[in-house]
Structure 1
Amino acid sequence: MKKILVLTDFSATAAHAARYALQLAQQLHTGILLYHVVQSIPIVPNYAGGGFVTETENLFAEESRENLTKLKDQLTAGRQDGPAIDTRTGEGDPGSNIKALLRDEPIELIVMGAPEGSVVEHLLIGSETRAVIKASDRPVLVVPANEQFNSIQKLVLATDYRSEDLCALRYLSNWVANTGGKLDVVHIQTAGEEALLNAQQKKVFELFLDNLGQTNVHCHDLRGKEIRKA
């Protein structure tokens, strides 16, 4: 069974993202893997004895496993059935750990919580998010702190019609085909863009969509001075 990988640091926003992922797993018929990385402790000169670093790392790992079990219990409380939930603790560099997980586990999607501030700010300045995206070859869903889950029926793909975005288009079109939702492919054309080039690129997208045979996926061109506001 495919799984949603839920990254957690046991904060309130991470717990909210885990609850969101639980509802999403029910919609997508996947399992969940709750995952926390224990950061490695750098080795320092030995002034007071030999076992301090190892013992401290073991304590952190044990605390991580206990917190993962608590989070799993919170997600399953009062439920007779639902997605299967596994837990795992990693140690060391988050990027390397995520790459290993994606290699060994059937991960469909990665879910993580956003800290305070907008999701756009988190994507621009959030080092953890950048590290996860860099390490991943799977979609990454960043859940805002106040976002309430409703069955996802409408998705928007923001694109400049690059050929690289066809991968995202294929993934999202499969998503809406399986859930009965709708996908809008949206391009914001700013004043300085070459309209002819975009028209040619858009034609490639439209031909791709024609070959998919989807009636619930549509392309839209909008004009705007600022892409973020539009």
Structure 2
Amino acid sequence: MSSLLIPVDFSIPCHNAYRFGLHLAKQLNLDVVLAHYYSGSLDPDQPLVFGGDGSLHGNYIDRLRQFAYPSGDGDDYPLVEPPTGVNLSYETAVSYSPSASIINRANESDIRFVVMAPRSSKSMLNKWLGSTSITVSESCKRPVLLIPEDVDFRPIRQIVVANNHATADAAPLSQLRSLANLYGAMVHFVHVEWPDQYMPLRFVPWRLMEELVEKDGGADYPFEVITVEEEDITKGLLDFADQVNADLVAIVNKKRSRWRSLIHASLTQDMALRTARPLLVLHAEEAGDLADEAIKAYSDKTH
């Protein structure tokens, strides 16, 4: 069975991403792997309380279970019940680099998607999640879905895609097609260019049009390719997403090495920190059938 990987640091934003991931797993007929990676040293800001089998590993497994099934007694997590048919498993391990551990786990054959919060709550700003989510989203082979705090799951009817040079790659187009067909969604490919520039940048949108219209008989879902003028690319994309009340914003990256993504400020990072909508990060080098396989399994089960 294929799974959706949800790495957590036990923060409230992570719990929101977990709840969102449960709904997505149900839709795509996936199981859920809830994972936590720790340094092996004790956290001086946390009380020394061991659960499970009394080991540090057992303690974190026990915390993951409590995170997944909160009792409502003395914790801040909302009550949640995993949907019927979604199997939940727990993994934890010592790691000096959580991002490397997440990427390595995500690249295993049973994982199809990664769902994460883009950052932790204010009280946990020094934790690993903020930088880790960006590193994973830019370096992982799998699609990565970043869920801002307080975002609830809803059916995906409107998708805004950042139209850049990588968007016309066959792999992300295949994944976007699968999502659009599953939900009956409208896809808006939005290219942002600077106003009053020397000459229009038409190469990106028109290359995409050729891929959508001419290759393999054309796209079989409703879409538009448009250009908006805005000096701030992120603002242009997010303002358009507001106009159409988008359920999902997507961006396609050329996959970077983990070390390059740690030091490279990117559009993905800027969007992840500024958007109030789910952000799907796809990769131009990814095999195009990953999303299709999960969605085909869901379609076969329901038809």
What TM-score, normalized to structure 2? 0.59
Structure 2, unaligned runs of 5 or more: 42-53, 71-77, 122-128, 237-303
Q: Check conservation: 2:194, 2:230, Cα contact below 8 A.
A: yes
Cα-to-partner distance string for 1:26-60 (whole Å, 9 max, x where unaligned):
1222111101111244xxxxxxxxxxxxxxxx843
Match of 2:64 in 1: 68
Q: Are 1:171 and 2:175 counterparts?
A: yes
- Which residue number corresponds to residue 247 of structure 2? none
* AA aligned opposite 1:84: N
Q: Identify if the C-alpha distance between structure 1 residues 85 and 79 changes in structure 2 by more than 3 Å, giving closer, same or farther.
A: closer
The total of aligned residue pairs comes to 208
Give matches, 1:87-126, under 5 Å: 87-92=90-95, 93-115=97-119, 126=130
SS at match of 1:126: helix
Structure 1 pair 2/15, CA: closer, same or farther in 2 (3 Å)? Answer: same
Note if contact 2:22-2:86 (Cα within 8 Å) is conserved in structure 1: yes
Distance in 2, matches of 1:203 and 1:145, equals 34
Partners of 1:179 and 1:127 in 2: how far apart? 31
Provide closer, same or farther for how the CA distance between residues 37 and 219 of structure 1 changes in structure 2, counting only shifts above 3 A: same
State the secondary structure of the residue aligned to 1:228. helix
- Residue pair 2:69, 2:81 contacting (<8 A) in 1 also: no
Distance apart, 1:153 and its partner CA: 2.5
Aligned to 1:220: 226
Q: Which runs of 5+ in 1 are unaligned?
A: 42-57, 118-124
Does 2:134 correspond to 1:130? yes
Shifted more, 181-190 versus 30-39: the winner is 181-190
Structure 1 CA distance, aligned partners of 2:158 and 2:63? 34
Matches within 5 A, 1:174-193: 174-191=178-195, 192=197
| Residue of structure 2 equivalent to 1:9 | 9
Cα RMSD over matched residues?
3.0
Structure 2 SS opposite 1:19: helix
Q: Which residue of 2 aligns with 1:20?
A: 20
Identity of aligned residues (%): 21
Equivalent residues of 2:163, 2:204 under 8 A apart: no
Q: Provide Cα deviations, 1:110-143, integer angstroms capped at 9, x if missing partner.
A: 11113369xxxxxxx9311222124410111111
- Is residue 106–residue 114 contact of structure 2 (8 Å, CA) maintained in 1? no
Q: 2:241 matched to which residue of 1?
A: none
Return 148-157 or 189-198, whichever deviates more: 189-198
Structure 1 residue matching 2:233: 3-state secondary structure: coil
Residues of 2 paired with 1:212 and 1:114: CA distance? 34
Structure-2 separation of matches of 1:217 and 1:227:
21
Match for residue 197 of structure 1 among 196, 203, 209: 203
